[in-house]
Amino acid sequence: MSLVRPLFCVLALLTVQAACAETTPPSATSGAAVASALPPVMDVEDLRMFVEVMDQIRNSYVEPVTDHTLWVNAVRGMLESLDPHSEYLGKEDYQELKDDTSGAFDGVGLELNMVNNDLKVLAALDDSPAQAAGIKAGDIIVKMEGKLIHGQNLQTILDQMRGSPGTHLHMTVARPGDSKLHDYDLVRARIAVSTVKGRWLVPGFASFRVSMFAQHTGHDLEVEVKKLQASGPFQGVVLDLRNNPGGVLGGAVEVADDFLDQGLIVSTKGRIKDSNQQFEATPGQLFPGVPVVVLINGGTASAAEIVSGALQDNHRALLLGTTSFGKGSVQSVLGLQGGRGIKLTTARYYTPSGRSIQAHGIVPDLIINQASVKEHKAVDLYSEADLAGHLANTQKSTEKSADEDDGNLLATDFQLYEALNVLRAQTLLNQATAVTRTQVSTQH
């Protein structure tokens, strides 16, 4: 006798029981009562087709395949066919995702996305083996352990990248604009670093780079701010979200709140009640009255775009760089029995002005492409100090030259250099405006 009929009956029973588990306790209502009260979960013909295909694979495929493998692959395919961000999480995957959101995991430190069957690097996390080796955003991973990975399942590839600290991972990388392939031998490590790094660009002007959004990113930012505050007050701040792949929604809301006193940060809308939420800023911010520039680029995605949109729409910061990635959806991690789970897209998010940036991205206020700039100094010019017999300046200068202040920013990071210039201009304009207001007030 064919296995189709008994297997079909089992599927039907499991479908009814699964529906019961989401609505009422199993002991409260019989399966027959629930079946009559609930709408059909799946069309009978669709169920029959599924079972028939499974039966044909079991009987006729060139190699034996276990039922467990078929079930898992069916679930995985069901989710991955919805959108690029929904996926099935086995036990290890589920644990790894929890590690990621906590800011610590074992691996090489790459954020990846599958683009036209190519595995593209969104970012190499700060202080990771991948970053230390020189892998860059935009690189395409061609091989792992000598085997081509083109067209492979993303989760399968990620599973191969994970591993115990100290173990090696060999990969071959293609770089756009470079005809050569680059080989890397990476040593996996436990990556548990702060998601925020702050530094002074020049006195009074600081940069805070957020590598991703974890549960503790808001706290990480506050720690870095306190470190720098010990050296002096802030005159301008750069929030660097370039190549930030996103992360936890709560972390993004906390960081946006650190720059705002009031106003909507983000709203989410979905089919279920819990997906419809609004997140408002609370009084008190880390940089009151201080000009802010947010740096974004094509690697700025998801939660990083939430922060960018919130500060742009609330007119709290100028956005500088290039258009962001354009991921305007929210994923919920839903636990299953046996330590497994699924990551499911449950909502779209909207910036405070009501914009959905899905597949469009956030356009910065000032479009500045990254560039390699070499300073040109004219050699045929001279100044007063070069003239014979010039009068000496009796005052001792305490000012540093622009070259000394800016260091190598112009040569190493043109976008950051331009962000610093914008902040300086805003600071000078604010100071001039304050002086003008004081003079007008005095005259009255």
User: What tokens appear for 322 in the block?
Assistant: 């290039």
> Is 36 annotated as catalytic?
no
Q: How far apart are CA 143 and CA 171, in angstroms?
A: 5
Residue type, 63: E
Q: How far apart are CA 23 and CA 26, in angstroms?
A: 9
Is residue 218 within 8 A of residue 254, CB to CB? The reply is: yes
User: What tokens appear for 230 in the block?
Assistant: 């010990």
Q: How far apart are CA 379 and CA 66, in angstroms?
A: 77
Q: How far apart are CA 215 and CA 93, in angstroms?
A: 18
Please, what sign has the CA dihedral across residues 80, 85, 91, 93? positive
Residue type, 184: Y
> Is 405 annotated as catalytic?
no
Q: How far apart are CA 164 and CA 172, in angstroms?
A: 21
Please, what sign has the CA dihedral across residues 356, 261, 318, 195? negative
- Catalytic residue (choose from 194, 302, 324, 329): 302
Report strand pairing: 292-296 vs 318-321. parallel
> Is 327 annotated as catalytic?
yes
- Catalytic residue (choose from 240, 313, 329, 413): 313
Q: How far apart are CA 109 and CA 129, in angstroms?
A: 6
User: What tokens appear for 352 in the block?
Assistant: 């405070």
Local structure of 263: helix, strand or coil:
coil
Within 10 A of 371 (CB to CB), how many other CB atoms are there? 10
Q: How far apart are CA 264 and CA 268, in angstroms?
A: 12
Q: How far apart are CA 423 and CA 16, in angstroms?
A: 61
E strands, 145-204, are 147-148, 168-174, 181-187, 189-192, 196-202
Which element (helix H / strand E) includes 152?
none
Is residue 51 within 8 A of residue 11, CB to CB? The reply is: yes
Q: How far apart are CA 393 and CA 15, in angstroms?
A: 89
Termini Cα distance of the chain: 101
- Catalytic residue (choose from 139, 308, 324, 327): 327
User: What tokens appear for 301 in the block?
Assistant: 């995605």
How buried is 405 (Cβ within 10 angstroms: 0-12 exposed, 13-18 middle, 19+ buried)?
Answer: middle
Query: How far, in whole angstroms, is CA 66 from its chain's centroid?
Result: 37
Catalytic site positions? 302, 313, 327
